[in-house]
Structure 1
Amino acid sequence: MKSKMEFNIKPFHKKQDTLLGINLFFSLLNDSDLRELNETILSISKSGLARTKFVAVYDGKRAAYKIHFVPKLNEKIQVTEIHVRLESISIQRFQNYQKNLEKIRTQKEFKHIQATALLDSNLNLINFFNKNSLSFEKIIENKTGKTEFTNWVKLLFAGKGDAEIHLSAQLTGSTSLKISFSGFNTEKSMICLTIESEDYKDNNSNQVKGLQFNKNILNSIPADIVFWNMDHQYIFLNENAMKNADLRKWIIGKNDFEFFQYRNKPVEMALKRRETFNRVITSGEPAYLEEHFKTSNGDFHHLRILQPITDFEDHIEWVLGYSIDISSIKRIESRLLKMNLAVEEAMDGIAVLNEKSEYVYVNEAHVKMFGYTNPEDFLGNTWHMLYEKEEISRIENNIFPLIAKNGRWAGETKGKSKDGKTLYQEITLTSLPDGGLVCICRDKTEYRENKDRIQTAEIIADNINSIIMITDPNLKIQWVNNAFEHITGYTLNKVIGKHPGFLHGPETDKEVVKAFSKKLKQGNPCSAELLNYAKDGSKYWIQINVTPLYDENNKLKSFISVENDVTELKNAEINTRNALSKEKELNELKSQFVSIASHEIRTPLASIQSSSDLIQMFISSENVPKDKIKKHLEKISGQIFRLSSIMSNLLTIGKINLDKFSLNKNEVDIENFISKIINDFFGINADGRTIRFKATGTKRKSDIDQVLMSQVLTNLIGNALKYSKDKAEPEVLLEYLPENFKISIKDYGIGIPQDQIPYIYDSFFRARNVENIQGTGLGMVIVKKFVEMHKGNIEVNSIENEGTTFTITFPYT
């Protein structure tokens, strides 16, 4: 029964007949060969190293094969597959291999002796422990060597011998040995000796000695040079390969996987090195590996070459590796690649001609420019193919002499395309050292054909009153007419390349601009009315109509904008709208006035009438009650004052709506000003309360209109008293700040409902919780207007049934 293979194997080439051939081959092997191949495959599965084996089979006639096993490793350095290749060899070569293998095995046994021997005082062998299959007698076969060994042991028993003895290969008949005294037993009847070959202690070092090279010479070579044994372990590195002496010593006997793990580097590079090493082992041919390193000093590229070193019978003993720094070559390659890519992708046509004026290179743009499809249409032909006789004569007689003199010429030529159409080019010709030319050209035909039409259009556009603007697809200005400069104040050279949005300002309608831009991005025509700003800051209105232009491939080429100045029409429209709005507002005010008059004016008049009638009645009586008459006269006086206040507020609102107020500022001590208003108007109140006033910060003066500011403060402080009856005294706080000053008027009264706070500055508005308290709903309108005229700001913070705080902030000037 044939032994079963214990590892999955695959052929080098994934063909069914190849796999069948390998399976057939293995079926011809005997049990012994199969077991040996099994061991080889298992060894490869653990080591990841390629191996070769020689076997003979009988398939009708005797034949011999060399079997190549090449493992495939994953990132965890585990063998996932073993690929197999069969190489037919001669029977003679197989027999030579068998003889050489036996010889190598014997040499190996002698080279790797490490044993312990136990002898009695008569030098009889009691016990022998050995890792090899060699017997104690076979270790020292030479008679002279045996005698010297025996005499040394006898001296040890006599207590005179040295601790160790060295026997050369000539004395042992096999290999040089070191035999050491390990000790006696208790009775000193037996001696223990340790035997080891001189080669065993430093096998890798001896392998290097076997290479028969001079380390000094290898260290002086300016290249990385290393040697590996057949287990892919380093046995030598020159100083250039590894500059650190300690690391160079450490790596001997280790492989790249151990080295990369030690240096914490990715395992992928070690895997590639192992694959390359295995390729050398199986093919017997040199192999190449290009490596790329990224360091703090930049990128480096090395080309590694692995060369098999064989013995006299062509068996691989070591692998030599050396590397060349190809970083500069790679950088040159990269630059050349980029340059070539730039030339190929250039929009301009680029061509190179030899000394015979024949094309040796043309880029894609040059080919397409002249209506051709293939660069081969140019190569080997002269430039004459692109020109008529008259132009050829001009170039040869007028232009070439200038190139010969200056080395370069730039200008315009008139060529022809493949279909015979005229082609104007903007061209630059530069001479080369070998007599050739570099030609860089750009198609100017369309420009030439459109030049006259453009000039005509410019004349027309420059003589109309509307703005004409041409932009590219990204809305960058390319051209504007004279009307643009007349209306905006900007000249053409100041606006080329700019987006027209630079003409927008704070009052330009952003929603209109957004909708307008969206249509333009979609490539659609659009129109709108926009407010723009001229160079001097003045505002003007335009009716703008934009039309997109497309080329023959339906690709957006530009936008043409026609803009009419409609400022006068727009202003008339705005004035009309404002007048209508003002009229509507006045009508609303009239209605509100009638409403307030029916209540606020009629009430004091009725009171005056009532008091007047009572006084008349008192006068007609026999006993005139002077105290009652006095009381009603005071009531009449109070109602007259109330009427006067209402009429004053109404007149003030009227002036505000007609913009008839102007500021009359002068420098005032704010703290003294507020104190005076409190003392004059609110010093003694009917309910006995006073106003608490406090100032904080560094005292400063301010420019204010005292009349208007007085009205602001009397309104706010009066409200604080009126709406906090029977509550704590109102407070006035003045705060001097670095940039401005604040005046806060705080009461602890009825407060303002939260949902009605936004309406307190509307004319005639009164909150729902003040219906039983006298007022017109005009005071806060006046306060807000006068505060804003001083470039100030008013804020309110109120909680119903807890109180209200008004804070007004003013600049010092």
Structure 2
Amino acid sequence: MEQFISRVKSSLAERLELAQSFGKIGEWEFDFLSGSAIWSKEVYNFYEVDLDLPPVLFHESDEYYRPEEKTRLFSLIERLRLTRTAQQDVFQVHLPNGKVKWHRSLLIPEVDVNGQLVHMHGLLQDITDEMMARTRLKEEQVFFQSVLDSIPADIAVYSEDQRYLYINETAVADAEARKWIVNKNDFDYFTMRGLPLDRAYKRQAQFRSMLEGKEKKFFEEHSVKNGKDIYKLRQFAPIWDKQTGKLRYVIGYGVDITDWKLSEQRLVSSGIAMEASTDGIAILGADETYQYLNNAHISMFGYDAEEDLKGKTWRAIYPKTEVERIEKILLPLLMQEGYWQGETVGKKKDGTLFHQEITLSALPNGGMICICRDISKRRERDEEMQKLALVSNRSNNIILILDNQRRVDWVNDSFLRLTGRTKEEVLGTRFPSETPGWSNDNLPPWLQFGMHQHQHMKGELAYYTATGEEIWLQGEINPVYDDNGEFRYSACILNDITLIKAAEKNALTALHKERALSELKSRFVSLASHEFRTPLAGILSSTDIIREYADTIEDEAAARILNHTDRIAEEVLRMTEIMNNVLLLGKMDAGKIPFRPGSGDIHEFIQTHLRRVSTAFRERVRFNGPGRPVHTRFDPNLLDHILNNLLSNAAKYSPAELDIFVDLLPDESDGIQIVVRDKGIGIPAKELPFLYESFFRGSNTNDFHGTGLGLPLVKQFVDLHGWSIRIQSEENNGTDVTIIIPTES
């Protein structure tokens, strides 16, 4: 039995030693009391030390452990001392022969009955191969990482649920963001960056389509960065497990195609521009056949489609004589210079000939580009202009054409005849400072403004002929712009108005004389009115004395005296009124009527006026107002005269038993109206337009006293206020006089 146990132990020891050797695991013991150590064979082999040498405390030697490794080893032993628990870590060893090895060590403490640390048992595993493999793997990872980051394309690896497993530096430059994005999706990334989610939704749709179709998916993606358009061509490529058929991961690839896309857009735009061009554009090959024609070129020659001319030579659309000229003269010049521009004669499909302006450019492959424009209408306009120039030269009007630098480009013969100048003196001069007869000193503002601002202006200006004679011209300056809105030249058209200006001067002199005569008349009227007032006042005073005397007499003679004095007083008052009106009219003509408007309640003013004159009009006036204050601006003196005149007319020309109505009403335009209405004799319809003429009286007023000055004065007082007046009347059916006071008053 003992032999069996001994044999088993021996076998176990052999198998244990074999296992340790296979696993590269060695044992060692360290006694804290004696400071001695025991190594197994595997430990000696690891350090490549002769088995006959005693164990050395290699952690205390600088030959095997670098300072940082020694520090970590001491820390591990210290943790074991403090915690009395097993500790393990990985260490790097530098052997004297230059080799570098790694070992994983497990330190197991042993304590005595008193809890004192007395012994340390250790296991050392040689993991050099594993660490070298890891190092190589890491180096390969770094290599492939640098390769992926150096590729000028976005590269990413996705899980089946479209979460990032990897993304390269080209796609996301920020290293922290690349770490953060792992296990995140596009929605997380776009939200974190504050970007719109539309691209995330589009990528999601393409990803799902790729999974459903189980094949690569290509799509274009557009974004804007720093205000610039970015275009990328992206691809989702699924990687399947060949054995299980399950999806392992998805590789995403994106390449910047912005330059290509913009070039494509420019090419498309150029094509659109060529098709939209009103000029005919064609490209011919080395064999002189048409390879491309735009619509303008096709229609210019009367054809319907590109196929009608494509593949044919240019000779098909030019007459025989023009073909010979092009072959002998134009094409040699084109081959020599690489460019030619000029006029040719083309032939339409129906045989019609037309003039065209053509530009030819040679191509490196022997072909050429042809740009042509139909100038038939322009030639017609040129011919028309020649005719107009002939007419202009025979016109009495002066015509000058100024270029865009204001230099005289053309003048007609009328200018030369009228001014006595020659073309040599005028043409090429800068208008007006260099043009004879004009200068900036006598140039009117309208002409200066029209020239500098390129706007149509007209007015009068003086000119001095070659003999120094001053003439007056009435003219206008007209700017001419091209189809692009660019200013090209100005046409200045002038008429001689010297005789008209002389007539105006004579008329102005006559007007001054007339005004002086009118002022003399006004002074005379004023003087006469004042001179009449004094004797009239004396006559009225004498009638009062005669009345007092007649009151002392009691016979029939007293009654006759009083009757005559009443008539005398009435005529004196009428003469006084006439003088007052004449005096007012004179002041109006001289502009001396004082106008002092102020803000006030016109409703209260009319009521006060009517109360004051009620006795004079025998209580006949009926007032209709809003019953509340109505504020506006008016001159009390002038409004008093207006109301008094209108009421006097209403009372005079209507029966004494009929009422007179004064209304204060709102106007349709939010203003107010004053209306004076009567039921008197009215005014004939044909005489209404003449009511505001001085001294005009209606044909039906011969039996009534009057001067015909009242309404003209009312009209002028109304105009001074900025108001308006309207008269509506029907003969034998009364008159309505309406004064309209607008809102702004």
* TM-score w.r.t. length of structure 2: 0.43
TM-score by length of 1: 0.40
- Give 1 or 2 for the bigger CA radius of gyration: 2
